[in-house]
A and B are shown apart, each in its own frame.
Chain A
Amino acid sequence: MPKLSVWLVKASLVHMAIGFLFGAQILHHKGIPIYPWTWRLLNPHIEIMIFGWTMQFVMGIAFWILPRFSGEGRYGRTALGWWSFGLLNIGILFNALAGWFTLDTLALAGRLCTLIAVAMFVILVWPRVKPLGGFAASQSR
């Protein structure tokens, strides 16, 4: 597993841990109330579970599993992947905080970070969606 995938998948597991904690607190609160502020965790819970856990996990596995190029740079333009990883997590953090504090500007900034992160990831993996070997493999950088 390449280093970028390790970071993406481990970060997704951290998000999963937090997302499950928030979700469990909300569900517990539905049955037996704990803290009055519990419902404010709902939007951060959704953001963390969808983008932090599932989407980031899929990105990590895709970067690992998709066909590689031959020779140097077999995973493609990896620098794009690291930028994508950083921006994605900043975006999720912004959106989770925006959900908690109800800040529209921060939510917009977070979503823009997520959008740029996803665009970078698409550019990174697009050429790797190809048949194994053959002409495409010979086009590696």
Chain B
Amino acid sequence: MPTLSRWFIKIGLLYFAVGLMMGAAVLAQPVMGWSPNLHLLRPVYLHFLFIGWVTQLIMGVGYWMFPKQSKEKPRGSEWLGWTVLVLLNVGLVLRAIGEPMMVLAPQASVRWIVAMASMCLLLAGWGFIINTWGRIKER
């Protein structure tokens, strides 16, 4: 398995664990009487599970297993692959910080964090598609 795939999958596993814990905390909040602010984590945990875990796992396994693009570049651009990994995870972490902060301490800097997160995630998604498109082919 290529190094980049291992990074995608292992980071994805972390999001899986953290996302489930956040989800459990949100569900447990009314029962346990914890702070209602925990519900600010709802969009964060959903995206941790759906983007951080499922999509990132697909990215890692896809980079590893899809048909080879060519002899010279079997897995497309490795540089773009690493860029996608960094952008996706920077985007998710910025979102996890910025989205709850938007409610708790809405300042201009926090607004920019959320906007930056959106750009990182968009570029990561599109970067993956660009790097993968040529590998989806009949053998």
What's the count of A-B pairs with C-beta under 8 Å?
74
17 intermolecular pairs with C-beta atoms under 8 Å apart? A1-B67, A1-B139, A3-B138, A6-B136, A13-B132, A16-B129, A23-B121, A27-B95, A27-B99, A27-B118, A30-B99, A31-B111, A31-B112, A31-B118, A32-B112, A54-B55, A57-B58
**How many residues on chain B are close to A (CB under 8 Å)?**
30
- Shortest CB distance A44–B (Å): 16
Q: Is A13's CB under 8 angstroms from B129's CB?
A: yes
Task: Determine the main DSSP class of B at the interface with A.
Answer: helix
Contacting pair A2 B138 (CB below 8 A): yes
Q: Is A103 an interface residue (CB 8 A)?
A: no
Question: Does any Cβ of A come within 8 Å of B27's Cβ?
Answer: no
CB-based contact B111/A32 at 8 Å: yes
B26 interface residue, CB < 8 Å from A?
no
Residues of B near A23 (CB, < 8 A) are: 118, 121-122
Contact present for B138 and A6 (CB under 8 Å): yes
Q: Per-residue CB proximity of B87-104 to A under 8 Å, as 1/0?
A: 000000001001100100
Q: Which of B122-139 contact A (CB under 8 A)?
A: 122, 125-126, 128-129, 132-133, 136-139
Main secondary structure of the interface of A (DSSP, over half): helix
Residues in chain A within 8 A of chain B (CB atoms):
1-3, 6, 9-10, 13, 16-17, 19-21, 23-28, 30-32, 49, 53-54, 57
In the bound complex, how far is the Cα of B58 from the Cα of A25, in angstroms? 23
Q: State the CA gap A6–B50 with chains docked (Å).
A: 23
Residues of B within 8 A of A25 (CB): 118
- How many Å from the CB of B53 to the closest CB on chain A? 11
Q: Tell me, yes or no, whether B113 is within 8 Å of chain A by CB.
A: yes
Question: Is the C-beta of B119 less than 8 angstroms from some C-beta in chain A?
Answer: yes
In the complex, the answer to whether B110 meets A1 with C-beta atoms within 8 Å is: no
* Residue from A9, A21, A28, A31 within 8 A of B102 (CB atoms): A31
